[in-house]
Amino acid sequence: MDTARRDWVVRPGGRLAGRLRVPGDKSVSHRAVMLGALADGVTEVTGFLEGADCLATMRAFRAMGVAIEGPEGGRLVIEGVGMEGLRPPPGPLDLGNSGTSMRLLAGLLAGQPFDTVLTGDASLSRRPMRRVTEPLARMGARIETTPEGTAPLRIHGNPHLRGIDYRSPVASAQVKSAVLLAGLYAEGRTCVTEPAPTRDHTERMLAGFGWPVAREPARQRVCLEGGHRLRATAVDVPADLSSAAFFLVGASIAPGSDVELEHVGLNPTRTGVIEILRRMGADLEVTPEGEAGGEPVGRIRVRAARLHGIEIPAGLVPLAIDEFPALFVAAACAEGRTVLSGAEELRVKESDRIQVMAEGLRALGVAAEPRPDGIVIEGVGSKGRLGGGTVDSRGDHRVAMAFAMAALRAEGPVVIRDCANVATSFPGFEALAREAGLALEEAAAGDEDGRRGHG
């Protein structure tokens, strides 16, 4: 991955239009590689997200002896090695910026007959890992962290894990998935109960690969037994709703916009962003079109609308946790106040998204009050504008893309610092955004006020 610092400058105004397809779903792409590698037979993946995070997962399995052809045009061919076929890697597995890779692999590798070390970049090395290492320890896993509970993770493989009935204190699909993946190698039954619904991609894909999974949605509970096999299958990865969210927000806030997003994943554990925008008054037309890779998919048409502030329902928070940077921009352009609470998870993402977004919004003249578990944003209203200015994304891909959309309603250019990590989740964002109508370009070195290209 190119880690050189990159800044953007986005000229103000304009509108979004056209028919777009954003890249493949990151969560589904990760899991397709993991389960395809452990399956018996050859798995073909189409629509794979060729972003840095998913490529890190792919490289990790190649290092453990899995033959993977591609990616080429989003297509992978994975020659599964079976449940017992992984080999010890020649050295530490560097997972870059990918928290999903590290947490899910911690569970999957805990039950192997060999030791592994998982490392990552500076941002990943600050993210909390005890939330997965502690339940895994109850299963018999031996995983060492730093004294702060962060990476690197030193996993001492134990092929004699035992199933547990785990009641998670946090609503986290990554925690749930880590425990379930360890449960594949555990003796007996492994169950996870959560305080709120979270993404269910792991459960869906396990079932698609032939592993029996018992789900109790009303109780936020899922169980499986160890000792089964995974059977290779074809996986068609839908377009990522988290990536589509930036265009949903951009088209909603920019007068005259009309965008149609194609083949978008509509997993009900991910559609919180759609429901929140609708409650704010967004004009969204969702047309279901069946399933792809076990995931519901469809088209979303979005047109500009007058948004109003809301108090975001607690039940929607875990269903939109990755989309809040974009939603904060929608709130900044809405009429009145938007209040978010119960979202302390945002403080331990690729950045402290509550603080970093609040600072960026303030830099653009928006009243934003960060709180320990959320934020209060006073919108400028349908006739108001954001100020131009410079914001620092702190290397957080979703923050960078959110502020790019904010320029649609700005009075002056918006300069966004530290955007290189956008490639972790959305390769090609700049080109697609320009195609849709966003006046985005790379900032020249030392361009502090967005003058480049503006006369």
Burial class (CB in 10 A: 0-12, 13-18, 19+), 160: exposed
Helix axes 52-63, 26-38, angle to 10 degrees: 10
CB 301 within 8 Å of CB 284: yes
Of the candidates 53, 121, 236, 322, the residue annotated as catalytic is 322
Strands 374-380, 335-340: pairing is antiparallel
- Assigned token pair, 258: 């009309």
Distance CA 155, CA 114 (A): 9
DSSP 8-state code for residue 127: S
Residue 164 neighbours by CB distance under 10 Å: 20
**Cis amide prior to 71 (ω within 30 degrees):** yes
Strands 116-119, 93-94: pairing is parallel
CB 239 within 8 Å of CB 24: yes
Distance CA 191, CA 177 (A): 11
In sequence order, what are the residues at sequence separation of 6 or more whose Cβ sits closer than 8 angstroms to the Cβ of residue 51?
A: 23, 26, 29, 423, 424, 425, 426, 427
Distance CA 226, CA 171 (A): 24
Q: How many residues does the chain have?
A: 455
Give the rounded distance of the alpha carbon of 39 from its chain centre. 25
Please report, as a single letter, which amino acid is at residue 280. M
In 3-state terms, the chain is what percent helix, strand and coil (to 5)?
35, 25, 40
Active site residue 392: no
Q: Shortest CA distance to 235 belongs to which of 321, 288, 297?
A: 297
Tokens 């030392």 sit on residue: 446
Please report, as a single letter, which amino acid is at residue 344. E
- Assigned token pair, 355: 């603080």
Catalytically annotated residues: 322
